[in-house]
Amino acid sequence: MSNNPEIKHITMPKLYRYFYLISGFLLVAIGVIGIFLPVLPTTIFLILASACFVKSSPKANDWLRNHRILGMYVKNYQDKAGLTLRAKIFNIAFLWIMILLSAFYLTNEFYIKIILIAIAAGVTLHILMIKTKIQ
């Protein structure tokens, strides 16, 4: 172990950087789809995308964190700032509307309806446990 306070920058092979960059954009796409599909969690995919961008392209990570719509998901979670009360209400209302529409119009299987409602209850509990940010 060296006493040199200088931190060495380890360069990653280009192939790995491209892999992380492409993975990051795929995760962003899945996260965007998750905005409209209540079963896909948006935030975790965007956080994973940010992690990929950190390893591949700081410019792409800055783009994601500063994006007008997607940036709030990443920033609030990574900075542990919390969600505004308005965002909590919107997320929970949208979640339940989409889950109930899915449960009662897209399936006739009772066990799938129960699973969807259980998922909605779990996500609602998670959202309520997140710190409420004062605007």
Alpha-helix runs per DSSP H in 37-109: 42-56, 58-65, 71-78, 85-105
For residues 109 and 38, which has the higher predicted lDDT (pLDDT)?
A: 109
The share of the chain scoring above pLDDT 70, in percent, equals 90
For residues 39 and 112, which has the higher predicted lDDT (pLDDT)?
A: 112
Instruction: Tell me the C-alpha distance between 61 and 113, whole Å.
Output: 37
Per-domain boundaries in the chain:
11-81, 82-135
- Model confidence, pTM: 0.60
Asked which of 9-13, 18-22, 123-127 is least confident by mean pLDDT, the reply is 9-13
Report DSSP state, residue 132.
E
CA-CA-CA-CA dihedral for 62, 63, 69, 72, to nearest 10:
-10
Tell me what pLDDT residue 135 has: 65
Average pLDDT, the chain: 84
Tell me what pLDDT residue 108 has: 92
pLDDT tens-digit readout, 61-120: 999 999 998 888 788 777 777 777 887 888 888 889 989 998 999 889 999 999 999 999
